Structure 1
Amino acid sequence: MILIGLTGGIGSGKTTVAKIFKKLGVPVYNSDKEAKKLMNSSKELRNSIKELFGKEAYKKKKLNRSFIAEKVFNNRELLQKLNSIVHPAVREHFKDWTTKQESSYVIQEAAIIFEQNNQDFYDKVILVTAPKAVRIERVLQRDPNQDKAQIERRMANQLSDREKIELSDYVIENIDLKTTEQRVLALHNIFCA
């Protein structure tokens, strides 16, 4: 089974690309969603997160996402500590998930593959890109509670597209949906060959 990493900065449209792959019948593992589930369900993770952030990290037995986000997006070191707790658990969960899939390839959608230096874990990595202004507009549309400054702070915690392109096997510039769908289909045919 081929392991494909799917990554891209906030607002690039990696989830849109993942949905296109899903429509083609490809199993897709969404790391962000699974990490959120694990941070609520894993006692070990909950304890480590409480140890790092204090009891405020959880409200009514659920991860206090706004509290955590406020802490980590202004503190790169704290973000790295959180990632070092969560990412190994997600990696193990993904490995277990892959054993249950029956497909020639699977995709793991993950925002910070290169930032965590995890690209060698995958057989191939697809990078989804879009111009910065488009990315900001997309994030504002899906989450009106965020402002431009918050989005730009999150972008600053990720490598630039220029840096990621150098490390990627394939790049999908996600501006026009029809073109993106054609590019996904072309890659699907390569991975199934």
Structure 2
Amino acid sequence: MIVGLTGGIGSGKTTVAGFFKKLGIPVYIADEEAKRLMMISPEIRKEIIQLLGQDAYTIDGLNRKYIAAKVFKDKYLLEQLNAIVHPRVATHFQNWYKQQDSPYVIKEAAILFENGGYKECDFMLLVTAPMHIRIERLKKRDNSSIEEIKDRMKAQWSDAKKQALADFSVENIYMDQTKEKVFRIHNHILLRITRNW
């Protein structure tokens, strides 16, 4: 069974995914795998340079700040970049998924609703947090400006729109409460699997 885990940027998806991992559930972080594939695949590299220019890569590898500045201000470029990367990540996920031996797995991705990936999941879990908390987290994490953060947020659906399609949701403000909610959701999923709901 596949449980999709998503949420707006800065909501704390990776934190929630980490709690599932501690419960022994295999977790696939799509954004991390996308970055890794963008680094190691010569085909992806070539296509990204054709789309965004030579500056998309530096001597150290992927120029994430440059790429983000280009695609989050241009919907067409973002769609083209996603069209290059997402099919490769989807194939990589399927290969990973076949190797897992667990009642369910977590697939964590930022735009599971936006790209239609939620349709391949059995359940959807939405992680939310108030806007001011998300902005503070992103300023600390990425050293991003408010303008950069808002550009990235504009590329994602609102929480209200996602909520309508989610089976579960976790408001991720206080770690203890988040951990407890994850534990309850985990047990609920196991119960549903056992009873074949």
TM-score, normalised to structure 2, is: 0.93
Q: Whole-Å Cα distance in 2 between the matches of residues 119 and 37 of structure 1?
A: 22
What does residue 190 of structure 1 align with?
188
In structure 1, runs of 5+ residues without a counterpart are none
Paired position in structure 2 for 1:160 = 158
1:101-152 alpha-carbon deviations (Å, 9 max, x no partner): 1111000110001111221110111000011111111111222x21112111
Output the CA distance in 1 between the equivalents of 2:64 and 2:170.
30
* Contact residue 16 and residue 182 of structure 2 kept, 8 A: yes
Q: Which residue of 2 aligns with 1:81?
A: 80
Determine if contact 1:126/1:170 at 8 Å carries over to the other structure: yes
Q: Kindly indicate whether the alpha-carbon contact (under 8 Å) linking 1:40 and 1:63 is maintained by their aligned counterparts in 2.
A: yes
Q: Identity across aligned pairs (percent)?
A: 50
CA contact (8 A) 2:19 2:179 kept: yes
Q: CA deviation at 1:61?
A: 6.5
2:127 aligned residue: 128
Unaligned ranges ≥5, structure 2: 192-197
4+ residue stretches of structure 1 with deviation over 3 A?
none
User: Where do 1:94-105 residues align within 5 Å?
Assistant: 94-105=93-104
What is the SS of the residue equivalent to 1:167? coil
Q: Deviations over 1:137-180 (max 9, x none)?
A: 1111222x211121111111110000000011111111121111
Residue 64 of structure 1 and its aligned partner are, at CA, apart by 1.7
Deviations 1:11-41 (A, max 9, x none): 1011110000011111001111110000011
Question: Could you tell me how far apart the structure 1 residues matched to 2:70 and 2:24 are?
Answer: 38
Measure, in 2, the Cα distance between the counterparts of 1:176 and 1:88: 35
Give TM-score, length-normalised by structure 1: 0.95
Distance 2:5 2:133 in 1: 19
Match status 1:180 vs 2:178: yes
Task: Give the Cα separation in 2 of the matches to 1:97 and 1:52.
Answer: 28
Determine the structure 2 residue equivalent to 1:50: 49
- The alignment yields a C-alpha RMSD, in angstroms, of 1.1
Q: What residue number does 2:195 align with?
A: none
For residue 60 of structure 1, report the CA deviation from its aligned partner: 2.0
Maintained 8 Å contact 1:29/1:109: yes
Deviation at residue 54 of structure 1 after TM alignment = 2.1
